[in-house]
Amino acid sequence: MSWLSSLKSVFSPAQEVKEEEIQNVLQSYILPNSNHALKDRITQVNVEGRILQITINTYPEEADHLQKIHDDLADALEKCGIQELNMHVIQQKHAQGESCSNHDHGKQGHSCASNAQTATPSSAQKLPPVVDASGNTAPAAAKQDEDPNNQPIQKAAPQQRDVPKHPRIQNVILVSSGKGGVGKSTTTVNLALALQKLGLKVGVLDADIYGPSIPTMLGNAGRTPMIEAENFVPIDAYGMAVLSIGHLTGDNNTPVAWRGPKATGALMQLFNQTLWPDLDVLMIDMPPGTGDIQLTLAQRIPVTGAVIVTTPQNVALMDATKGIELFNKVQIPVMGVVENMSTHICSNCGHEEQIFGTGGGDKLSEQYHIPLLGRLPLNVQIRENADAGKPSVLVGDDAAESYMAIAQKIADQLPQVEKPKNRIF
């Protein structure tokens, strides 16, 4: 099967990637200082999301041109929607036109050949690893299958400092946790409403693609956004601009069964193709874990800081630690820790009990030298009000004051908000 047929069979692009234009680039590129076409040297091509991996055969006299080949292709493919190019080189032993003696063999055990097409590696040949958000390659276990003398040419992944600012959003705050079930979404909507009460213009983006709960908590489940000039118009929720994948599925029963590249593509579409108003703060409710969506955000969305939500339980703390480590690696400041479900007071007898343990937030704060922003109780009112679409800060229940105090500490860490000249509030 040709590489072109292979490309068509494995193609799983992000929405921004243009398959036909990628084919045209690969088929039309001529190698530097020669009349040889790149398409005659390609042995393998694979596309995952916006990452393209390509394996080609080269000869010793072409070694000085490999970086130029990579850079030329990367520039051309970027216009087709490819964000990252990994080029794996299989270098043949003899220059073109030389014949092979019977005892000559390539370093990998492949027969030496003057024709590049006869040197196609076996189907077991490993493709190079994809670089992670910190610019490093995959773990050592993944490198064992690579030829140390034939490293892939890789373009470093974008860093947080290089991501351009959104024209209408001054600050992006991630609300994150290492695991699910710690009250992250509830914390997001209440902190967003609290920041709004402090006088900031606030929006909310639900990045929990697989388990969107923001529409329910803000009382607009089942509503779908308007489309204007091929952009989403965010839904208004208590004066905040809000958008979630849950608003696009139409109900609470439809599962989002997408692989990583499609999920991250959907997230970027919600961020970039939405007519956000001028916002002082956009709160992003993150999915649990440290996977594709977290890395995509770090590489492609300008983030002011992250708020970590945890319970005092050791299992939750272990996962929260991983989240903090990830943000440190991708140069996103951690603004502090919120210890949720910190204590429970019996509504009948008034007895106070630490159901999930004590001191978890203090441990994280001390270990990473980050603020403990506050503690929130395990309170039935918080759950009931969130399920009813009227969060605590909105109705002023017993937890509202705690959310307001946490929001004030977050606001104090924000850069000075500069209001656009056309803002009238």
Known binding positions for ATP: 178-185
Cβ-based burial of 279 (10 A; exposed 0-12, middle 13-18, buried ≥19):
buried
3-state secondary structure of 8: helix
Which tokens is 114 given? 């003057």
Q: Which residues contact 249 (CB under 8 A, 6 or more apart)?
A: 212, 256
Which residues fall in the annotated binding site?
178-185
Q: Which residues contact 124 (CB under 8 A, 6 or more apart)?
A: none
Torsion angles phi and psi, residue 272, rounded to 5 = -85, -30
Tally: H helices and E strands in the chain? 14, 17
Helix axes 380-387, 184-197, angle to 10 degrees: 80
DSSP symbols for 319-386: HHHHHHHHHHHTT--EEEEEE-S--EE-TTT--EE-TT-S-HHHHHHHHHT--EEEE----HHHHHHH
CA distance 123 to 119: 12
- Asked if residue 222 lies in contact with residue 216, where contact means CB atoms within 8 angstroms, the answer is no
- Asked if residue 246 lies in contact with residue 215, where contact means CB atoms within 8 angstroms, the answer is yes
Torsion angles phi and psi, residue 88, rounded to 5 = -100, 130
